[in-house]
């Protein structure tokens, strides 16, 4: 059991570092959404998704949490951790359907889980932006203003982000599956059976 835990902790640590490194390669999307020029896209969700598949949803959430803590410590630019709060909420909402549905059938649900995750992330971020991040940025309180900004800018951004992450994950996962299986040789979380994984094409 101790050896299993060490492997999981080491996987979380490695993937958290990789996710944090990917945070440096932010792609500005402000030119598509002039009402929110600070919007950026990056691929740091991919390591967390892979970790969630390998070691369960909790491990994936830990990667999301640690990468945002590191970002807040070394790269924070937005006021009062607003960017980290938004990223954590969006990333977990996107990741969980992919990880949870994976245990049933990674071939059948890899696209569906990404679609569900994208929709869930978009809905969750409506509430997070309206009640948390907009307040941290000091935006006006008016309902019409805030909902207009959410529907015209943040909703399409999150739909685009979720679509890109899903496409990248679906392309990368078959290539990275052998690495994940090697991690699972000495660790089997309750959510996933290694034998089940090995039987899949």
CA quadruple 191, 183, 200, 47: dihedral, nearest 10: 80
pLDDT in tens, 172-181: 877 887 776 6
Q: What whole-number distance in Å separates Cα of residue 48 and Cα of residue 64? A: 6
Q: Which domains does the chain have, with CATH numbers?
A: 2-26+42-192 (1.10.1760.20)
Q: For position 190, what pLDDT does the model report? A: 46
Report residues of the chain scoring pLDDT below 70: 1-4, 76-80, 103, 180-181, 183-201
CA distances from 74 to 11, 31, 69, 108 (A): 22, 26, 9, 39
Q: For position 79, what pLDDT does the model report? A: 63
- Per the DSSP assignment, residues forming a β-bridge with 41 are 27
* Cα of 90 vs its chain's centroid, Å: 7
3-state secondary structure string across the chain: CHHHHHHHHHHHHHHHHHHHHHHCCCEECCCCCCCCCCCEECCCHHHHHHHHHHHCHHHHHHHHHHHHHHHHHHCCCCHHHHHHHHHHHHHHHHHHHHHHHHCCCHHHHHHHHHHHHHHHHHHHHHHHHHHHHHHHCCCCCCHHHHHHHHHHHHHHHHHHHHHHHHHHHHHHHHHHHHHHHHHHCCCCCCCCCHHHHHHCC
Q: What whole-number distance in Å separates Cα of residue 23 and Cα of residue 1? A: 33
Q: For position 44, what pLDDT does the model report? A: 93
Task: Supply the pTM of this predicted model.
Answer: 0.84
* Cα angle, residue 98 at apex, residues 63 and 150 outer, rounded to 5°: 85
Q: For position 193, what pLDDT does the model report? A: 44
């Amino acid at each position: 059991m101790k050896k299993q835990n060490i492997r999981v902790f080491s996987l979380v640590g490695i993937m958290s570092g990789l996710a944090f490194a990917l945070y440096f390669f932010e792609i500005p999307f402000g030119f598509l959404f002039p009402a929110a020029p600070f919007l950026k896209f990056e691929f740091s969700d991919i390591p967390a998704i892979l970790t969630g598949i390998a070691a369960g949803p909790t491990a994936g959430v830990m990667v999301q949490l640690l990468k945002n803590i590191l970002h807040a410590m070394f790269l924070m630019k937005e006021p009062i951790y607003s960017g980290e709060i938004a990223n954590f909420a969006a990333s977990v909402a996107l990741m969980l359907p992919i990880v949870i549905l994976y245990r049933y059938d990674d071939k059948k649900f890899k696209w569906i889980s990404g679609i569900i995750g994208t929709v869930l992330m978009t809905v969750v971020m409506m509430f997070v932006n309206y009640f948390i991040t907009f307040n941290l940025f000091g935006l006006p309180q008016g309902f019409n203003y805030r909902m207009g900004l959410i529907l015209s800018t943040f909703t399409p951004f999150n739909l685009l982000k979720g679509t890109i992450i899903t496409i990248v994950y679906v392309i990368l996962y078959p290539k990275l599956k052998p690495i994940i299986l090697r991690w699972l040789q000495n660790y089997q979380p309750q959510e996933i059976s290694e034998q089940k994984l090995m039987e899949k094409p």
